[in-house]
Amino acid sequence: MNLRCNCLAVMLGVLFILFTYTECRLFGERVKRQTIVSSEAKTNGTAENVNTSALSDHYKTDNGVIGVNVSASGNAAGANSSSLHGSAFGSVGNNSVQGTGNVASTGTSSNSSTNIHAQIYGDNQTLSSEQQASGNGVGDTSASASGNSIIQQGGQNSPYSGTNNQATAGASGSLNSSASVIANQTLTWQSIISQLLGSAMSNGIGHAQSNVNLNGGNAENGVSANAVVSGVNNGGGVVSSQVNGSASLNNNMHNVSNSLSGVANGTNDTSLVSASNIQSNVSGVNNTVTSFGDAKIDASGGGNANVNSNSDINSASGTSGHNTVNGTAVGTNTNMNISNGLQVNDKNGNTIAMGSGQVQGSGTENSNSSLITNTNYTTNGQASVEVSGKGDASGHNQTSALNIGTSGQLSNSNGLNNTASGGISGVVNGETNSLTGSSNFTLTANGTSGHSIMTAQGGGKGPSSALTSANMQLGGANNTSNDVTVQGSVSASGDMTSVHSFSSVTNNNGITSLTNFQNASSSSQGSSSASASNVSIFKRKKRDVVDFVGEERKV
């Protein structure tokens, strides 16, 4: 009896263990098959007219594939301002997609739109985001668009996910202005296509400004483009500005560019400034192009300043930049200062190109001057600097004067360091008098060429005199420099006099030629006098040289 009871107890125990194991296994299978699916989409906006829509959908196919579709879209338009916010989120287990978009615009006529669509189908995830905004009108206008695009698998972000897709543009002009931006992005786990566009333009009486800022991608794979043009004239002249920017990336292939232009006209004080920066970063390899332009003109008769700048970074073709600032001035008194610069960092290293110039003129009859600075960088790594200043002044029975100064620098991280400066000055007195002068040069890696020329003439009844000067200084490797200055003066007294002074220096890659000619004449009843003198100064800066035998000498 006891044996039977013991056997029964053992059998019941075994059955209990088997039942417990079976329940645990079945429960464990149920937990493994449990998948959480969620999705959400929403859009809201503000404007005179707003249309919004949102879609959230998830499903499971006959063959067991789980999918999610979410989308958020909208349009907003009206006077003064419009804005939209859209978001779309979907997840299947530990895989998710998330996109957000914010757009806004201001202006007499404003428009904003957002369109976000995200999808999960099994192990495949895609996300597309399109954001656009524009503002047009009189006075201030603006447009902005930003979006985040994130794809996750197993809780980890895709290497192409980014929270830095931003585009803004702004403009200001009393006559008209407009600003528009586009920020588009298509993302998968293993790829990204991003396009950012910005445009701003303005026209105004006395003032105009335009700016664009674009940023896309992330810290390891990103692009950016930023630029501004601003002009002022306090004489009631028309000022115009325009900026266009583009920044796109297709995985590791980048294309970034900026285009700037501006014009400022009017009497009295005129100023025009520009600044631009574009950047491409792929896995720590950073390419940049930075430029600036600055023009300041004070002219009693009227001044005109212009800026034109283009820069480009292309993964396939290379890096380039072109920057030009020029101006003209008219009046009895003129003063003009212009400068620009270009800095490039690419596979060829770091390159700096800068140029500047100044022209001052005065004369009772008139004074005219022009000045241009031009810096260039080509895709094959060649850079150049050009500066050219011209002027003339004339007067009657009073002193006329003209001064021009030019300077430039071209250097790179490979040891190039070429510099150049030139200048002319002249003063003339006489019943009638005139001055004409110019100073220009071109800097390249192969050398420098340029000239400085000054001519002065005066004469008529009574005394007359003239003083002219011309200078050209070139600098190169090893701290060498070649400096040449010529000066001449003439004077005459009597009933009728005439003076002429001419000074010039020309340098072509270190070969210098000069001319210094002065002439004076006088005729009078009683007494008369005439004199002429000149001087030429040659300077060559010493440098240290080490001979092959190791002896140091001075040259």
For 411-441, the pLDDT digits (tens) are 999 888 999 999 999 999 999 999 999 999 9
DSSP one-letter code for 477: G
pLDDT at 16: 46
CB 229 within 8 Å of CB 201: no
CA distance linking residue 470 with residue 78, whole number of Å: 62
Distance between CA 465 and CA 531 in Å, rounded?
9
3-state SS track over 397-439: CCCEEEEEEEEEEEEECCCCEEEEEEEEEEEEECCEEEEEEEE
339 within 8 A of 359, measured Cβ to Cβ = no
Chain segment 46-59, per-residue pLDDT in tens: 999 999 999 999 89
Alpha helices in 104-196, H assignment, sequence order: none
Average pLDDT over residues 291-303: 94
Assess whether pLDDT exceeds 80 at residue 7. Answer: no
Tell me: pLDDT of 91 over 90: yes
On the question of pLDDT at 552 being above 60, the answer is no
Contact 475, 441 (CB under 8 A): no
Residue-level pLDDT at 22? 40
- pLDDT for 392: 93
Residue 475 banded pLDDT, cuts 50, 70, 90: confident
List the one residue out of 178, 205, 208, 201 whose CA is nearest residue 107: 178
State the pLDDT at residue 467.
94
231 exposed, middle or buried (CB, 10 Å; 0-12, 13-18, 19+)?
buried
Among 272, 276, 220, which Cα is nearest to 251's? 220
Nearest Cα residue to 220 out of 273, 140, 158 = 158
DSSP, res 479: G
- How close are the terminal C-alpha atoms of the chain, in Å? 126
The per-residue pLDDT for 29 is: 45
Q: What is the pLDDT of residue 169?
A: 98
> Is pLDDT above 60 for 376?
yes
> Which pLDDT score, from 0 to 100, does residue 178 have?
98
Is the model's pLDDT at 102 over the cut of 50?
yes
Question: Higher confidence at residue 326 or residue 362?
Answer: 326
| Cβ-contact 282, 221 below 8 angstroms | yes
* Alpha-carbon distance values, 298 to 361, 387, 395 (Å): 11, 20, 19
> How distant is the alpha carbon of residue 275 from its chain centre?
5
Please determine, for residue 180, whether its predicted confidence score (pLDDT) is greater than 90.
yes
Which pLDDT does position 164 carry in this prediction?
79
Mean pLDDT of 165-177: 97
Q: How many CB atoms lie within 10 A of CB 124?
A: 12
Instruction: Please count the CA atoms within 13 angstroms of the CA of 457 that sit on its side-chain side.
Output: 7
When the pLDDT of each residue in the chain is averaged and rounded to a whole number, the result is: 88
Span 387-407, pLDDT tens digits: 999 999 998 998 999 999 999
38-47, 377-386, 502-511: lowest mean pLDDT where?
Answer: 502-511
Which phi and psi angles does 200 have, rounded to 5°?
-150, 140
**Residue 547 predicted with pLDDT over 90:** no
Of 24-38, 39-53, 94-108, which gets the smallest average pLDDT?
Answer: 24-38
The stretch 373-398 carries a mean pLDDT of 94
- Beta strand 95-121 with 192-205: parallel, antiparallel or unpaired? unpaired
**How much is the pLDDT for 351?**
94
- pLDDT tens, 480-496? 678 889 999 999 999 99
Q: What pLDDT shows up at residue 67?
A: 92
